[in-house]
Structure formats: structure tokens, C-alpha cells
Amino acid sequence: MIVCHCRGVTDRAIQEAVRGGARGLAEVTARCGAGGRCGGCRPLVELVVRLELEASGRAEAAPAAALAARVAAAS
């Protein structure tokens, strides 16, 4: 799915950036461009980064309610 429409960046590209070592929005933007233009996608980019970090064990899992709040805020 396209997360950043300005740059045409998918969730998979963001996940790849995280797997490649990116740990936050700025590093993901540097690697794949997501979030580097209008900024409207940044909450969703940050969510994808967080979920990928959690999935890879590089961040503690957030409670489900906190994730739901982030998704609601991003949409």
C-alpha cells in the first residue's frame, strides 16, 4: 500500500528501510523519501516504522490501545 503519496513510497519500502538500519522518520526519509515533502504521511510513516521495529524486536511492543490511537491520528 502507498503510504507516502508525494513520493510514491509503499509500506514495504519503509519496512525495508527499517530492516536496513533506519530507526526513525528522519532516517527513513533519507533512505526512501517517505515523509520528505508535504509531511501529511509522517504519522503513518512513523507508525509503520514503529511496527517494523517491534516486529524485529528492536522496540518494545506498544499496547493495542496506543497503536489504535496512532492509527486514528494518522488517518
Using the rule CB under 6 A, is 47 a contact of ligand FES? no
Instruction: Give me the least distance between CB of 29 and ligand FES, in Å please.
Output: 8
Nearer to ligand FES, 61 or 73 (CB): 73
Using the rule CB under 6 A, is 4 a contact of ligand FES? yes
Q: Write out the H or E segment, with its range, that includes residue 4.
A: strand 2-4
Task: List contacts with ligand FES (CB under 6 A).
Answer: 4-7, 34-41
